[in-house]
Amino acid sequence: MVAIQGFGYLGQALSSAEIFAALFGGGVLRAGRDRFVLSPAHYAIGFYAVAAELGLIDPALLASYGTDGASLEAIGTERTPLLDLVCGSLAQGLSGAIGFALAARLAGEDRRTFAFVSDGELEEGQTWEAAMFAAHHRLDRLTAVLDANNSQVDGPVTSVTTVEPIVDKWRAFGWRAVEVDGHDVAALVRALGAPPDGAAPLIVVARTDIFGNMCAIPRTADGHFLKLDPALRQAIEAELEPALA
């Protein structure tokens, strides 16, 4: 998808691939019943890949990714297929997910709500206001998964604003918080599939690498918006092909 135009959000796809695989392919999220909110809209690329693999969308659509008029936009919008909410400005996703979770409780519906958020969004005050609200209302059927890849548009998150200790902060806000290797599908499935405890929302802090631990991508590359020249594309494909065989 990124190779179509030679640049794009490959880093976000590589850091989130296992998270989306665990959610949608690991039996965690019940399609058609549970809600899913994508807060950082540019992560839609990871969802598209998993959705195509699972037959939720036509794989042929991937060839139009990011082009004018395509349904699979490079930065997701309200037009993004299958997802319940895709946010524009960063840090709005958790608030939207809380709305879904609270509505389901008031309606007596058997639904869980999952929200995908990024570590850069922890610099936004709205995230923490939402966190306080969810804990206060004991929204135990709300689960957030945080892609902690230490990457944002201005560089490493640690160079912009200190957000650590992430797990301790969420616990202090009244959440159940667990930390896992975000590239370990089995660990993600176990953590995300934890049943509601009747008392507190859950956040799974997924520690990931913006390059997906790939050796072909130089560490000097801009992981937030990767430029994919023919040589780099060839090197990435060569590294991936043995794993796909």
Return the domain boundaries, the chain. Answer: 2-244
Distances 167 to 55, 94, 174, 177 between C-alpha atoms, Å: 35, 16, 11, 6
Q: What single string gives the DSSP state of each residue in 76-124?
A: --TT-SS-SEE-SSTT-HHHHHHHHHHHHHHHT----EEEEEEGGGGGS
In three-state secondary structure terms, 226 is: strand
Which whole number is the average pLDDT over 63-80? Answer: 94
Which of 24, 15, 30, 10 is closest to 53 using CA atoms?
A: 24
C-alpha to C-alpha distance for 218 and 214, rounded to whole angstroms? 9
Instruction: Give residue-wise pLDDT tens across range 159-210.
Output: 999 999 999 999 999 999 999 999 999 999 999 999 999 999 999 999 999 9
Q: CATH assignment of 2-244?
A: 3.40.50.970
pLDDT score of 88: 83
Which pLDDT value is given to residue 244?
A: 75
Given a cut of 90, whether residue 131 has pLDDT beyond it is yes
pLDDT of residue 9: 96
Distance CA 34, CA 191 (A): 17
Q: Residue 243: its pLDDT value, please?
A: 76
Would you state the pLDDT for residue 209?
Answer: 97
